[in-house]
Amino acid sequence: MRISVSWSWESLWIWLFWCIGIYLMLELVPFLVLGLALKKTANVLVGPYLAVAVPCAIIAPLIWWLRKWKERGVDPKRLARRWGASVALFGVTMVLAVSWSGVNLGLMDPKDALGGLILSILLSVPIGYFTLYYMIITRMSSGDMGRLDGPRPK
């Protein structure tokens, strides 16, 4: 029996189920290690675990929509801008989640966390945006867009 995941691209809900599920499973191991290293209980780690899951819940539907827009043949610059904005948004939410989790777990002083939060946001937004923007423009202009989705079946 051959398993095909191409049908999962058709439904947003199936995509979200698999994407967020895999992300949460991959995120579980670092939090288990963190809990053992810091000797924290599961009750203390639930808040930071869910905080770090929020960026995936934001970026997963955006990725699905961006791939659908690519299939529709959206202008490469518009698609690149949307990818850049999506990654910038993901970076901001991840920085917020990590900073809040660090303060919540007692790993950071709240005053230091605020300065680090501001600096991290100021750096992550342009870096994330322009990295994805130029990567998408380069791949679309060179005709290598097939590599973004992986190899196509023959």
Our count of domains for the chain comes to 1
Tens digit of pLDDT for each residue in 88-138?
999 999 999 999 998 998 888 888 888 889 999 999 999 999 999 999 888
Amino acid 1: pLDDT:
46
Contact predicate 63/55, CB 8 Å:
no
* Contact of 37 with 29, CB cutoff 8 Å: no
First vs last C-alpha separation in the chain: 18
Helix axes 76-104, 42-72, angle to 10 degrees: 180
Among 118, 130, 55, which residue's Cα sits nearest to residue 91? Answer: 55
Range of the domain at 109: 9-143
Contact status, residue 62 vs residue 83, Cβ threshold 8 Å: no
18 confidence band (pLDDT: 50, 70, 90): confident
Given the structure tokens 């009750």, which residue do they identify? 43
Place of tokens 């791949």: 139
Q: Flag whether 154 is in a domain.
A: no
Domain assignment present for 14:
yes
Asked whether residue 52 is domain-assigned, the answer is yes
C-alpha to C-alpha distance for 145 and 10, rounded to whole angstroms: 19
pLDDT of residue 40: 87
